[in-house]
Amino acid sequence: MNVEIIGTWAGLVWEALNASGMLTMKGLKKATKLKEKEIYAALGWLGREGKVVITETESEIEVVLC
């Protein structure tokens, strides 16, 4: 796994969120076809750039663009 690949995953996650507004982890998996660990890497990238807000509810993690 390298920085370019994580950047590509981040792009896929951003595009899915941009199209849908808010998605759960399950929704992100379905929209991007990425594995959970790949989504978490992408969210770390986007979070570091200040592009997403991640909220944890009792049963799910929700992600929305800033």
pTM, to two decimals: 0.94
Inform me whether the pLDDT recorded for 10 exceeds 90.
yes
Structural domain boundaries of the chain? 3-65
Q: What is the mean pLDDT of residues 16-27?
A: 96
Asked if 47 and 9 touch (Cβ cutoff 8 Å), the reply is no
Number of residues in the chain: 66
- The one-character DSSP state at 51 is -
Amino acid, res. 22: M
Q: CA angle 63-6-30, nearest 5°?
A: 45
Query: In this structure, how many other beta carbons lie within 10 angstroms of the beta carbon of residue 10?
Result: 23
Inform me whether the pLDDT recorded for 27 exceeds 90.
yes
**Token pair for residue 7?**
């950047």
3-65: CATH, from 1.10.10.10, 3.30.420.40, 1.10.3720.10, 3.40.190.10: 1.10.10.10
